[in-house]
A and B are shown apart, each in its own frame.
Chain A
Amino acid sequence: MGLLSKKDAALIKDPLADNNPITIQVLGICSALAITAELEASIVMSISVLFVLGVGNVVISLMRNIIPSKIRIIVQLIVVATLVIIVDLVLKAFAYELSKTLSVFVGLIITNCIIMGRFEAFALGNGPWRSFLDGIGNALGYAVILIIVGFFRELLGSGTLLGIPVLGDPIEKTGLYAFGYENNGFMLLSPMALIVVGIIIWVQRSRNTALVED
Chain B
Amino acid sequence: MEKRTDKNSYTIIFAIVMVLIVGSLLAYLASSLKPTITENQRLEKQQNILYAMGVNENEGTSANFVSTDNAPQLFEKFIKQQLVVTSDGQATENNEAYLIDVKKEQAKAKDGGVRQLPLFVGEDEKGKKYYIAPIRGKGLWDAIWAYVAMDENMVVQGAYFDHKGETPGLGANIKQRFFMDDFIGEHLMSNGSFKGINVAKGNADPKNNDKTDNEVDAIAGATITGDGVSAMIRSDLKLYVPYFKNLKQ
B40 touches A (CB below 8 Å): yes
B165 touches A (CB below 8 Å): yes
Bound-state Cα–Cα, A41 to B15, Å: 36
- Residue of A whose beta carbon sits closest to that of B173: A158
B73 touches A (CB below 8 Å): no
Q: List, in ascending order, chain A residues with CB within 8 A of B109's CB.
A: none
Contacts A37-B168, A68-B14, A94-B36 given; indicate if A86 touches B26 (C-beta within 8 A).
yes
Contact between chains at A185 and B220 (CB < 8 Å) = yes
A154 touches B (CB below 8 Å): yes
Encoded as 1 (CB less than 8 Å from any B CB) or 0, chain A from 73 to 85 comes to 0110010001001
A134 touches B (CB below 8 Å): no
Contact between chains at A71 and B11 (CB < 8 Å) = yes
Contact between chains at B169 and A154 (CB < 8 Å) = yes
Output the least CB separation between B20 and chain A (Å). 12
Contacts A82-B26, A89-B33 given; indicate if A157 touches B169 (C-beta within 8 A).
yes
Contact between chains at A71 and B40 (CB < 8 Å) = no
A96 touches B (CB below 8 Å): yes
Bound-state Cα–Cα, A211 to B206, Å: 49
Q: List, in ascending order, chain B residues with CB within 8 A of A90's CB.
A: 29, 33
Bound-state Cα–Cα, A35 to B171, Å: 12
Bound-state Cα–Cα, A86 to B30, Å: 9
- Residue of B whose beta carbon sits closest to that of A186: B221
Contact between chains at A189 and B221 (CB < 8 Å) = yes
Option from A38, A93, A153 in Cβ contact (under 8 Å) with B40:
A93
Q: List, in ascending order, chain A residues with CB within 8 A of B111's CB.
A: none
Output the least CB separation between A103 and chain B (Å). 7
A66 touches B (CB below 8 Å): yes
B249 touches A (CB below 8 Å): no
Contact between chains at B62 and A163 (CB < 8 Å) = yes
Option from B6, B168, B221 in Cβ contact (under 8 Å) with A70:
B6
- Residue of B whose beta carbon sits closest to that of A82: B22
Encoded as 1 (CB less than 8 Å from any A CB) or 0, chain B from 12 to 56 comes to 001100110010011001100100110010001000000000000
A208 touches B (CB below 8 Å): no
A3 touches B (CB below 8 Å): no
B100 touches A (CB below 8 Å): no
Contact between chains at B165 and A103 (CB < 8 Å) = yes
B207 touches A (CB below 8 Å): yes
**Which range holds the interface residue count of chain B?**
20 to 34
Contact between chains at A78 and B18 (CB < 8 Å) = yes
Contact between chains at B5 and A78 (CB < 8 Å) = no
Contact between chains at A37 and B170 (CB < 8 Å) = yes
B246 touches A (CB below 8 Å): no
A188 touches B (CB below 8 Å): yes
Contact between chains at A103 and B221 (CB < 8 Å) = no
Output the least CB separation between A132 and chain B (Å). 21
Output the least CB separation between A1 and chain B (Å). 37
Bound-state Cα–Cα, A199 to B248, Å: 63
Contact between chains at A104 and B5 (CB < 8 Å) = no
Q: List, in ascending order, chain A residues with CB within 8 A of B164's CB.
A: 103
Interface residues of A in 132-182 (CB under 8 A from B): 153-154, 157-158, 163, 165, 171
Q: Which of B10, B25, B36, B40 has the most CB of A within 10 A?
A: B40
Output the least CB separation between B208 and chain A (Å). 10
Option from A34, A67, A103, A188 in Cβ contact (under 8 Å) with B5:
A67
Q: List, in ascending order, chain B residues with CB within 8 A of A205's CB.
A: none
Q: List, in ascending order, chain B residues with CB within 8 A of A103's CB.
A: 164-165
Task: Using CB atoms and an 8 Å cutoff, list the residues of chain A in contact with chain B.
Answer: 34-35, 37-38, 40-41, 65-71, 74-75, 78, 82, 85-86, 89-90, 92-94, 96, 103-104, 153-154, 157-158, 163, 165, 171, 185, 188-189
Q: Could you list 23 A-B pairs, sorted by A, with CB under 8 Å?
A: A35-B168, A41-B168, A65-B5, A66-B5, A66-B14, A67-B5, A68-B6, A68-B10, A68-B15, A69-B5, A69-B6, A71-B15, A82-B22, A85-B26, A86-B29, A89-B33, A90-B29, A92-B37, A93-B37, A96-B44, A104-B168, A154-B169, A188-B220
Task: Using CB atoms and an 8 Å cutoff, list the residues of chain B in contact with chain A.
Answer: 5-6, 10-11, 14-15, 18-19, 22, 25-26, 29-30, 33, 36-37, 40, 44, 61-62, 164-165, 167-170, 172, 206-207, 220-221
Closest A-B pairs by Cβ, 3 of them: A37-B169, A68-B11, A41-B168
